């Protein structure tokens, strides 16, 4: 089972993680600490910006053209 949650780091730099009850019978878990830089709003802004990026759009068009050939084989 995987449990993921983003925590705000307190001033004392300590985290206490309350595990879900499903973990009660377990005796080991793996904890991975990852920096989180972007908020959800920042990610949305980045996605909107990508939707206008010429290189990104070129890549998408190239991928779509590749699927056109395989889709026509099904007909």
CA distances from 21 to 7, 14, 61 (A): 19, 22, 46
- pLDDT for residue 74: 66
- pLDDT for residue 58: 93
Whole-number Å distance between alpha carbons of 36 and 38: 6
Tens of pLDDT, residue by residue, the chain (75 residues):
888 888 888 999 999 988 888 888 888 888 888 887 767 788 888 889 988 999 999 999 999 888 877 766 666
Name residues whose C-beta falls within 8 Å of residue 57's C-beta, 6 or more positions apart in sequence.
51
Whole-number Å distance between alpha carbons of 27 and 18: 15
- pLDDT for residue 22: 87
> How far apart, in Å, do the first and last CA atoms of the chain sit?
42
- pLDDT for residue 72: 67
Whole-number Å distance between alpha carbons of 40 and 62: 29
- pLDDT for residue 11: 95
């Amino acid at each position: 089972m995987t449990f993921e949650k983003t925590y705000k780091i307190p001033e004392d730099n300590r985290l206490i993680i309350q595990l879900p009850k499903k973990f009660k019978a377990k005796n080991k878990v793996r904890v991975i600490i990852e920096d989180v830089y972007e908020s959800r709003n920042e990610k949305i802004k980045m996605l909107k910006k990508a939707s206008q990026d010429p290189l990104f759009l070129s890549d998408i068009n190239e991928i779509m053209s590749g699927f056109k050939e395989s889709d026509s084989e099904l007909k």
